[in-house]
Chains A and B, each alone.
Chain A
């Protein structure tokens, strides 16, 4: 079909324009005119247009169910609702790579337009480094992952999209996540450019900060959406499994958060320059690494795309070229300025940021090592082991306690040199936190010591940040909101973990199940037909010990193409708790297996992450930097 051809040739043109751009900008590099040549802008804009056209063409082939396109055949079906036909465009490997290209080209264009007051050579070098990445991706797409492969004879029907991927949260999750992930490419290119120009300075720090914030905000929200999807869709009531793909999205977030804090130093004075460059390189490298781990088939996970070692080899080589190139540039060009005031006084805000880096790098090492160690062990000694949640919990949770305390104390320190002011109020908050925790936990948990220490620390951060908000000191409001959000996040997760309860039982229609003075009643089973699935809906009435009634309707869906049976949980969310019910068929029986969970404070987990992002957003729009 025509859209297929247009899409394909747009990609080729995009690649050609990459080479053109490299040529034109290298020539302009030596031109003494302080302005970047207008041709560069034009070419860059056209390149973006080509990628957009290609992406839209792919969407069109999906919408039209054009099965002469191999990607559409593999991933779509005529009975799929329109919204999911469109979202299906980026729900597969080839389409998601077009999304990568879209964000890569969009961001470099925006960067060039938004950096007119920056030095010309720096801008051109950023463009060149970014084009290097873009060329790599064009080649990857065109040689191993072409979204426009032609199938002949044209099949009449497609293979369908996995039904658990047909969900609104999952439709937005990749675009937002990529804006964060791929957005860090600009930080990568810009910092390499700045290093070669010896431009890692206070001025550069102020300029690059907004790009870091943009990338960070999208990455935070993107990861959150993935978790929300897992919670609503996967039917086990969990939202984070330390699955390799989840870890792979968390790692760039950790380095990006560390980078964000380092830039707070760099925008004031030329310090922590090595950290900033290394973190910039590492963030994008981890994004690429993530792409490798998820798409090459080297890891087994819930999310893996179709396995293809050829793709894996390409990304692996590409990834390591980028690593060697960036490290090479760092070691060749980076000079530790003698004026670098890296010897911080131990009691200062700079030091607390170093401490943050220290903890972040530790958390990063836990997640990274946990994720890739099985691969290394398997290659070296052919032993296969699993590294699951217990590993991550044991190594991360104990370190959260000092981390939370530093988060509370750090912002209170001054730059360069500080005394701890208002010691009295801090000590009072500390005592309140511990006492409060003691009374709350006394009757509700057996792991008393463990939770007391954790929750006291979280409450300490909670109260210290809350105080700032109440006193209406809006100087550092973005930082306060973000740290407050984090304390809420930890508190919500901990209380959720302590107070959650679950009932698993088999029940049939008309039966009542009693537990703890509460009752679950299966009123009736309803059967429905939708466009691409049949559903069995259970109408449940649940009465709790106070007599309050809630109606839940979990579903079992039997999809036609591909033939998959899924369980859709029904969740009633209130401010206080979520009531979660999921139903499964028991083979050859009139009974249904149900899991009923009461999960306190789930909503607050999501709200706290939104608060975290809000902090970032406020920082983005502030004119003056905070004192």
Chain B
């Protein structure tokens, strides 16, 4: 019985670790040049890692952690530009162009022999 609990604890630790790494890779190290917090060993990165670990243990969701950091440092700290009123064009424009291109192409093609 203890073994069972032990392995489920191990699995949830693993999952937490996975989530933690995923989050840390998505956070920009603000004092480094182009490194994520995951990749950096700087002071700032170390502090952020501690905070993220603590919040994961407190059962915060990914969203909540990102919101916390964005509130302190602005949107710039998160690498993934989430879909909001500022980024609709960012995400949708390439897709629109793809569809437009497809439409133009289909119009020009010949389907009869």
Contacts and interface: CB of A to CB of B under 8 A. Distances in A.
Report A-B touching, CB under 8 Å.
yes
Interface of B: 26, 28, 33-35, 39, 41, 74-81, 86-87, 89-91, 93-95, 97-98, 101-102, 105, 108-111, 113
A496 to B, nearest CB: 16
A358 B94 contact: no
Given A384-B76, A387-B81, 18 more contacts: A236-B35, A301-B33, A343-B110, A344-B108, A344-B110, A345-B111, A351-B109, A354-B105, A361-B97, A365-B98, A366-B94, A369-B94, A383-B75, A386-B76, A388-B28, A390-B79, A391-B79, A584-B41
A365 B97 contact: yes
Interface string A360-371: 011001100110
Contacts of A346: 109-111
B81 A365 contact: no
B34 A417 contact: no
B30 to A, nearest CB: 10
B94 A365 contact: yes
A151 interface: no
A365 B89 CA distance: 12
Contacts of A395: 91, 94-95
A373 interface: yes
Q: Which 10 A-B pairs have the closest CB atoms?
A: A388-B79, A390-B80, A302-B34, A236-B39, A365-B94, A362-B98, A385-B75, A366-B94, A384-B76, A346-B109
A16 interface: no
A110 B107 CA distance: 42
11 contacts: A238-B39, A345-B113, A346-B110, A346-B111, A355-B105, A361-B101, A384-B76, A386-B76, A390-B26, A399-B98, A593-B41
A516 interface: no
Nearest to A393: B80
B111 A389 contact: no
A369 B113 CA distance: 39
A385 B86 contact: yes
A385 B109 contact: no
The CB with the most chain B CB atoms within 10 A, among A343, A385, A390, is that of A385
A241 B86 CA distance: 23
Interface string A564-590: 000000000000000000001000000
Given A236-B39, A241-B34, A391 B80 contact: yes
B41 A385 contact: no
Contacts of A390: 26, 79-80
Contacts of A386: 28, 75-79, 81
A500 to B, nearest CB: 12
A342 interface: yes
Contact of A385 (B87, B105, B110): B87
A384 B34 contact: no
Contact of A358 (B74, B78, B89, B101): B101
A29 B101 CA distance: 40
A351 B74 CA distance: 46
A399 B93 CA distance: 15
Contact of B109 (A241, A343, A381, A391): A343
A584 B35 CA distance: 15
A366 B98 CA distance: 10
A399 B98 CA distance: 10
Nearest to B34: A302
A344 B93 CA distance: 28
Interface in A271-293: none
B97 A370 contact: no
Interface residues of A, number: 39
Contacts of A381: 86
Interface of A: 236, 238, 241, 243, 300-302, 342-346, 351, 354-355, 358, 361-362, 365-366, 369-370, 373, 377, 381, 383-391, 395, 399, 417, 584, 593
A193 to B, nearest CB: 27
A399 B95 CA distance: 11
B102 to A, nearest CB: 6
A389 B36 CA distance: 10
B2 to A, nearest CB: 23
A388 B26 contact: yes
B105 A369 contact: no
A384 B94 contact: no
Given A384-B75, A390-B80, A362 B41 contact: no
A65 B100 CA distance: 57
A344 B75 contact: no
B105 A362 contact: no
A140 to B, nearest CB: 26
Nearest to B21: A502
B102 A358 contact: yes
A366 B81 CA distance: 13
A383 to B, nearest CB: 5
Nearest to A245: B34
B33 A302 contact: yes
Contacts of B78: 386
Contacts of B28: 386, 388
A370 to B, nearest CB: 7
Nearest to A354: B105
A580 B2 CA distance: 38
Contact of A383 (B26, B86, B95, B109): B86
B97 A362 contact: yes
A127 to B, nearest CB: 35
B74 to A, nearest CB: 6
Nearest to A387: B81
Given A345-B110, A345-B113, A362 B101 contact: yes
A405 B94 CA distance: 21
B23 to A, nearest CB: 12
B81 to A, nearest CB: 5
Contact of B86 (A301, A343, A377, A391): A377
A370 B108 CA distance: 29
Contacts of B86: 377, 381, 383, 385
A148 B28 CA distance: 39
A296 to B, nearest CB: 17
A342 B39 contact: no
